[in-house]
Structures are given as C-alpha cells and as structure tokens.
C-alpha cells in the first residue's frame, strides 16, 4: 500500500493532472479490490502476481467510454507501475453484481460477505468527483442492524451445530473425517461471527483468521484459541509419550477432549460478549439458544421471519 501511495503521488498525479486535466477532476484513484496487497497482507509468498507498483483509476462511465483507453495507454507508457482503468459502476458490479452497492435488505442479506470486504478494502488516495467514495462509505457503514443480527444469528447457529454438537457426535462414532470438517466449519463461522461483532466484513477464507488480529472485540483472543487447534495432536502425543502412556486410543481421546474444550472457550467468550452488549438475553451455554435470542430481537418482521437454519447462508 505504501508503494501504491507513493506511485500515485510521485507519478500518476503529476502525469494525469497535466495530460488529462479535464478528466482528472472526475477521477478516483486508489488500491482497492482483489488481492492480499489491498488488505496489507502481501508478503514474499505474494510475489508471483500483482507484486509491485500498482493502483486503480476509476471514472464515470461516459468519461471512461471516451477516454479510458487513452488514459490507460498514457499511464502504461509514462509510468513505472501497473494501473488499471475502469468505470466506477463496472468496479462495483464486478464484485457486488450491482453498480451502486446494496440498497435493500434483501440485497444486503444475499451478498457474499467476502465480496463486501473486497469492495470496501484498501485505500482511496483521491476522489475528485466523490461518487466512488459515496458508494464505498455506504459499504463501510456496515449492514443495517437488523441484517447484521440475522446474519450473526446464522453464524452462531452454525458454530453450535459444528463445534458444540456435530464434532462430538462424529468423534463418538469414530467418523474422524467428519470431525475434521466440523472443526473447520467451527473455525470458519467463529471468524465470521467475531467480524460481525466488530461490524467488519470477513474477507476471503484464507485471510479470515489473519484478519482477526486487527479486530478490537475478541479478535486476538479468538485467533489465539483457534490457532491452538492446529497443534493439539502434536502436544498430546509428546505429553503422553513422555509419560509412557502413548497409544492411539489415549491420544485420540485426549485430543478430542482438548479440542472440545477450545470450542467451548471460544463459544463462552462470544456468549459473554453477546450478553454484555445486549445482543442476547439467553442464559444458556449453547450458542443455538443465543442465536434464537439474537434473531428474536430483530425489529423488521420480514427479516425476523427468515430462517437462520437455511443452508447456503454460511458462505454469505
């Protein structure tokens, strides 16, 4: 992002304001959208693509139609970086399937969470017209509160289903692959729930735990607990070996017991916050009860009447 910012101020701004003064007054320029560099997560492993000076120029559609190619060619020839040129509407439609962003509750509910994150990440260095930023600020203002509660209730239900219920059932049946799927689902939905508590969109799954570190409400604590799930097997195997008590049965039993304990720790952290913040009035330690409580507090009856158990919403 630092590289993109310096690219704008040192190369793009002087060139564009000089060569396209009429069009420049309508431009928005920044680094937003797909890619780890737009989140500030790029590293040496990201160097195989989009790694270097890069920015994006956004124009009203009519100006883009007339001058888009010429601006792109000028930037390609006279700057040392890469710069995409596109219309404002095309950018948002590409990611959100809507040129102006979600306007109704239904549009908010059925948009993918990762798409909303992608459309509102990064940084806008300048927006002379203000239209790109107007749409962006509407996204950054987050879901309407009833929509947030509905989506949060669904995530709480999925956490209860995967980590507090199905994982234990799968372990009892010795269905280890099913247990691993339940564990992964719990991690995924816990990430999404914590993002919703922070009113931040959860990014694409490979950045969802990394993103937790930046969240003030439960983020770092939950990220630490979720990461502990990754080395439970090795820790248990070493402890039992050191005690001379190693066997596949003892390892299996101890690993599942400790993972269940971590699921409960994460769940209890979230439950405590739900109660303290007034989002839930339930007194149970089962997340499903809190999901129902959150759902029942929704004011818009049309949203409140929607099912939080519907399959397919877990990726949205």
> What would the pLDDT profile of 27-49 be if each residue is shown by its tens digit?
999 999 988 888 888 767 655 55
Distance CA 219, CA 211 (A): 8
Distance CA 118, CA 278 (A): 30
> What would the pLDDT profile of 220-251 be if each residue is shown by its tens digit?
999 999 998 888 877 777 776 777 766 666 77
Q: Which residues of 3-41 are buried (b: 16+ CB within 10 A; e: fewer)?
A: bbeebbeebbbebbeeebeebbebbbbbbbbebbbbbee
Residue 249 CB neighbour total at 10 angstroms: 7
Residue pLDDT tens, the chain, 316 long: 899 999 999 999 999 999 999 999 999 999 999 888 888 887 676 555 556 789 999 999 999 999 999 999 999 999 999 999 999 999 999 999 999 999 999 999 999 999 999 999 999 999 999 999 999 999 999 999 999 999 999 999 999 999 999 999 998 898 889 999 999 999 999 999 999 999 999 999 888 999 999 999 999 999 999 998 888 877 777 776 777 766 666 777 888 888 999 999 999 999 999 999 999 999 999 999 999 999 999 999 999 999 998 765 544 4
> What would the pLDDT profile of 148-160 be if each residue is shown by its tens digit?
999 999 999 999 9
pLDDT given for residue 256 in this prediction:
87
Which residues have a Cβ under 8 Å from the Cβ of 252 and sit 6 or more positions away? none
Pairing of strands 54-59, 82-87: parallel
> CA-based angle 305:311:313, to the nearest 5?
75
Tokens of residue 153, six digits: 């209730």
Of 136, 143, 141, 232, give the one whose Cα is nearest residue 180: 232
The reported pTM is 0.91
Q: Which residues of 220-247 are buried (b: 16+ CB within 10 A; e: fewer)?
A: eebbebbebbeebeeebbeebeeeeeee
Return the percentage of the chain with pLDDT > 90, whole number: 77
| Cβ-defined contacts of 231-234 (< 8 Å, 24+) | 232/258, 232/259, 232/262
pLDDT given for residue 154 in this prediction:
96
pLDDT given for residue 315 in this prediction:
45
Domain boundary assignment for the chain: 2-140, 145-315
Distance CA 67, CA 96 (A): 25
Q: Which residues pair with 57 in a beta bridge?
A: 29, 85
pLDDT given for residue 51 in this prediction:
64
Distance CA 90, CA 56 (A): 12
Distance CA 215, CA 232 (A): 25
């Amino acid at each position: 992002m630092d590289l993109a910012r310096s690219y704008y101020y040192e190369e793009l701004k002087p060139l564009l304001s000089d060569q396209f003064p009429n069009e420049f007054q309508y431009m928005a320029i920044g680094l937003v959208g797909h890619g780890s560099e737009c989140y500030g997560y790029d590293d040496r492993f990201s160097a195989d693509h989009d790694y270097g000076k890069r920015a994006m120029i956004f124009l009203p559609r009519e100006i883009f139609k007339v001058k888009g190619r010429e601006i792109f060619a000028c930037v390609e020839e006279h700057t040392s970086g890469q710069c995409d040129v596109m219309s404002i509407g095309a950018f948002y439609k590409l990611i959100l399937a809507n040129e102006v962003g979600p306007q109704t509750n239904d549009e908010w509910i059925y948009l993918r969470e990762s798409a909303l994150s992608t459309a509102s990440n990064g940084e806008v260095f300048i927006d002379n017209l203000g239209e790109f930023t107007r749409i962006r600020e509407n996204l950054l203002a987050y879901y309407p509160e009833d929509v947030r509660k509905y989506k949060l209730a669904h995530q709480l239900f999925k956490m209860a289903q995967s980590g507090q219920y199905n994982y234990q059932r799968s372990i009892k049946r010795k269905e280890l692959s099913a247990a691993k799927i339940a564990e992964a689902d719990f991690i995924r939905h816990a990430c999404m729930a914590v993002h919703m508590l922070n009113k931040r969109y959860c990014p694409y799954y490979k950045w969802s735990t990394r993103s937790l570190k930046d969240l003030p409400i439960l983020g770092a604590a939950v990220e630490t607990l979720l990461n502990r799930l990754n080395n439970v097997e090795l820790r248990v195997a070493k402890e039992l070996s050191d005690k001379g008590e190693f066997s596949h049965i003892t390892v299996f039993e101890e690993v599942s017991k400790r993972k269940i304990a971590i699921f409960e720790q994460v769940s209890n952290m979230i439950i405590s916050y739900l109660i303290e913040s007034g989002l839930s009035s339930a007194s149970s330690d089962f997340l499903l009860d809190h999901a129902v409580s959150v759902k029942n507090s929704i004011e818009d009856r049309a949203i409140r009447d929607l099912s939080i158990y519907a399959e397919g919403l877990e990726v949205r």
